[in-house]
């Protein structure tokens, strides 16, 4: 068995691409438009998975954008996406500056949770050992749910 991708439906493709690519640093690997099906598929990879994703088409995140407006709610069995990051504090700072709410701040220097524009829960995990706890993260309260 080989992990290929996780698919999430998005309501605003440009807003989602800004979130995943500009703020989280993911890379677009492939894009497919279907006139007949009236949808666009965009496959993204974490920067450190780019070579593997281009060669094997995995592991990727598939953003499915349906051209006809629909309202999406969280799937009953969907939990979250998880990504290992080089510097959790720097990324959370960048996300906050980009208007993203840090739902579960990285108080422990290791784990944080955020949500995409379509309310998909995303776990961020510090690569290697946890970073030393520091402000403002240590004192930050949880916001919403993840």
Domain spans of the chain, in order of start: 5-66, 81-126
The answer to whether the 5-66 and 81-126 domains have the same CATH topology is yes
Q: What is the pLDDT of residues 52-107, one digit of tens each?
A: 999 999 999 999 999 998 887 766 557 789 899 999 999 999 999 999 999 999 99
- Largest distance between two CA atoms of the chain: 52
Enclosing H/E stretch for 40: strand 39-45
Instruction: Report pLDDT for 35.
Output: 96
Please tell me the CATH superfamily of domain 81-126, with its number: 2,3-Dihydroxybiphenyl 1,2-Dioxygenase, domain 1 (3.10.180.10)
Instruction: Determine contact, residues 42/49, Cβ cutoff 8 Å.
Output: no
Active site residues: 123
- CA distance linking residue 58 with residue 64, whole number of Å: 16
Is pTM beyond 0.85? Reply is no
Task: Please name the residues in contact with 28: beta carbons below 8 A apart, sequence gap of 6 or more.
Answer: 17, 21, 42, 43, 44
Residue with tokens 């916001």: 143
Residue with tokens 């290791």: 110
Instruction: Report pLDDT for 132.
Output: 97
Q: Is 43 left (phi over 0), alpha (psi -120 to 50) or beta?
A: beta
Predicted confidence band at 47 (pLDDT cuts at 50, 70, 90)?
Answer: very high
At the top level of CATH, which class does the domain 5-66 belong to?
A: alpha beta
């Amino acid at each position: 068995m080989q992990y290929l991708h996780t698919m999430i439906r998005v309501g605003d493709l440009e807003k989602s691409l800004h979130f995943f690519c500009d703020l989280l640093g993911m890379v677009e690997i492939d894009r497919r438009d279907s006139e007949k099906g009236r949808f666009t598929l965009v496959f993204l990879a974490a920067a450190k998975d780019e070579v593997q994703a281009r060669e094997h088409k995995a592991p990727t995140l598939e953003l499915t954008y349906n051209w006809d407006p629909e309202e999406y709610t969280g799937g009953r069995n969907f939990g979250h996406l998880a990504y290992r990051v080089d510097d959790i504090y720097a990324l959370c700072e960048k996300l906050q500056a980009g208007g993203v709410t840090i739902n579960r701040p990285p108080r422990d220097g290791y784990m944080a949770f955020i949500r995409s524009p379509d309310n998909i829960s995303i776990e961020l995990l510090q690569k290697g050992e946890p970073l030393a706890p520091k402000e403002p993260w240590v004192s930050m309260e949880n916001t919403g749910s993840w």
